[in-house]
Amino acid sequence: MVPRAPFGSTGHESRRTLFGAAALGRVSEAEADRALELVLRYDLDHIDTAASYGDSELHIAPWLAREGRDRFFLATKTGKRTHAEARDEIRLSLRRLGVDHVDLIQLHNLVDRTEWEIAMGPDGALRAAVEARDAGLARFIGVTGHGLDAPRRHRESLERFPFDSVLFPYNATQLRNPAYAADAETLIALCGDRGVAMQTIKSITLGPWPGQRPPRPTTWYEPLTDQGDIDVAVRFVLARQGLFLNTPSDIELLAKVLDAADRGGPLPTDADVDALVRRREMTPLFA
């Protein structure tokens, strides 16, 4: 069974594997329903989507209507940077999801310095998120990021505002970059001290796409696809206490990742991880 852990200081005891609903961005209703069957089979209770994930929020709405709003800890994101744009997008997400509030509203991929200054400024997206929380439209506020600068920028964000959660890339190859690993460790320590929930992405990254990104798999990177390889990659993330793993943005890989998280098994040794990296010639997504 997928283990549970406190999701930071929110009071939510979450499955440590969260459903990354980016996988619903470009699927049919039937495909979305098959994904929900997996979510229910593995008793996941935390859905992470975003306004920019295509039709994801629209696919989730009937799930919530059928299963009950309180069945899931519901998170979405706004990628807008100004107050007015973020305010409008947050309200649009609520309408698309068919709910009167979300549990977590996140500032999406807030890494670029110029965008960060706008979003964190007096007329920025953070103000809209705080207003949404104060109005009962969201319970908690988080920040997410991609790329090499994400952990460092998240630390700056936490110095500016007491975010309830962060999200950043975490996998064996990315952590072989000494600077990235040091930044990630510093962020993890800070979040641990402050009770900030830590979500991770890109767990099953094989490397950047070697050529033009194909239509399938619908991941931003070339993923691992063999079950044994995915087992090692998933266990590598879940071996770190306090981290939550967001499932990848491809519906066809969902079953394999959930199977790996559910079965558990022995934690991978350094030798196991080294062998996988060498055998599959894995490379960091961000360099």
Assign 186 a pLDDT band (cuts: 50, 70, 90): very high
- Delimit the domains of the chain by residue range: 4-280
Q: How far is Cα 284 from Cα 129, in angstroms, rounded to an integer?
A: 33
Mean per-residue pLDDT over the chain, rounded: 97
**Taking the CB of residue 26, how many other CB atoms lie within 10 A of it?**
16
Note whether 161 and 120 are within 8 A (CB): yes
For range 196-206, the mean pLDDT: 98
pLDDT of 212 reads 93
Per residue in 235-267, pLDDT tens? 999 999 999 999 999 999 999 999 999 998 888
Burial, 105: exposed, middle or buried (Cβ in 10 Å; 0-12, 13-18, 19+)?
buried
Assign 29 a pLDDT band (cuts: 50, 70, 90): very high
Burial, 28: exposed, middle or buried (Cβ in 10 Å; 0-12, 13-18, 19+)?
exposed
pLDDT of 286 reads 97
Q: How far is Cα 51 from Cα 93, in angstroms, rounded to an integer?
A: 6
280 alpha carbon, distance to own chain's centre? 25
For range 72-79, the mean pLDDT: 98
Per residue in 30-62, pLDDT tens? 999 999 999 999 999 999 999 999 999 999 999
Helix axes 227-238, 270-280, angle to 10 degrees: 140
Question: Which amino acid belongs to residue 198?
Answer: M
Question: What does R_g of the chain's alpha carbons equal in angstroms?
Answer: 18
Instruction: Express as a percent the part of the chain with pLDDT over 70.
Output: 100
The structure's pTM equals 0.97
88 alpha carbon, distance to own chain's centre? 23
Q: How far is Cα 93 from Cα 198, in angstroms, rounded to an integer?
A: 23
Helix axes 83-97, 125-134, angle to 10 degrees: 50
pLDDT at residue 23 above 90? yes
pLDDT at residue 197 above 90? yes
Assign 195 a pLDDT band (cuts: 50, 70, 90): very high
Q: Strand 13-15 vs strand 205-207: parallel, antiparallel, or unpaired?
A: unpaired
Assign 123 a pLDDT band (cuts: 50, 70, 90): very high
Q: How far is Cα 183 from Cα 109, in angstroms, rounded to an integer?
A: 17
CATH architecture of the domain covering 4-280: Alpha-Beta Barrel (3.20)
Q: How far is Cα 207 from Cα 202, in angstroms, rounded to an integer?
A: 10
